[in-house]
């Protein structure tokens, strides 16, 4: 079975901490994505990457950065966590191309206190 694995299911951090959310896929996908999901707002794209060391901003990149040093791993970084970054974070991956399906991880519920 293909897999997208997010390192933590639940995470609690304090305001001002640097937070790393890790995502690993085992399908050799070029594309990887980070979304956040909040009640009533659906999924919103934060950043995506279409190759190693490549990244593109999504709709809501403010307060976040990403790292893609290896093809299978895409990290989301909160440089200084704030309470408004409390959310469910979802990672996804796919091959390039409009007819390629996305595979999602189970999500990380981050609480910033």
Of the candidate spans 14-22, 50-58, 61-69, 72-80, the one that interacts with other proteins by CB under 8 A turns out to be 50-58
42 binds other proteins (CB under 8 A): yes
Q: Which residue has the tokens 């996908």?
A: 29
Cα–Cα distances in angstroms (integers) from residue 88 to residues 28, 42, 44, 52, 64, in the given order: 25, 11, 11, 25, 14
Q: How far apart are CA 98 and CA 24, in angstroms?
A: 22
62 binds other proteins (CB under 8 A): no
- Select from 5, 50, 63, 77 the one that contacts other proteins (CB under 8 A): 50
Query: What is the pairing mode between strands 10-13 and 108-112?
Result: parallel
Of the candidate spans 14-22, 61-69, 79-87, 91-99, the one that interacts with other proteins by CB under 8 A turns out to be 91-99
CB closer to other proteins, 62 vs 82: 62
97 binds other proteins (CB under 8 A): yes
Q: List helix spans (H) across 32-103.
A: none
Q: How far apart are CA 53 and CA 62, in angstroms?
A: 19
Which residues of this protein are in contact with other proteins, per CB under 8 A?
Answer: 4, 31, 33, 35, 40-45, 48, 50, 56, 58-59, 90, 92, 96-107
């Amino acid at each position: 079975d293909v897999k997208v694995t997010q390192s933590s299911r639940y995470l609690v951090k304090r305001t001002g901490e640097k937070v790393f959310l890790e995502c690993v896929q085992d399908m050799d996908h070029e594309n990887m994505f980070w979304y956040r999901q909040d009640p009533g707002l659906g999924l919103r794209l934060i950043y995506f990457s279409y190759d190693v060391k490549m990244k593109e901003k999504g709709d809501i990149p403010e307060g976040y950065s990403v790292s893609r040093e290896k093809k299978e791993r895409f990290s989301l970084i909160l440089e200084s966590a704030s309470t408004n970054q409390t959310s469910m974070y979802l990672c996804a991956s796919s091959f390039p191309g409009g007819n390629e399906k996305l595979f999602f991880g189970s999500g990380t519920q981050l609480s910033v206190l």
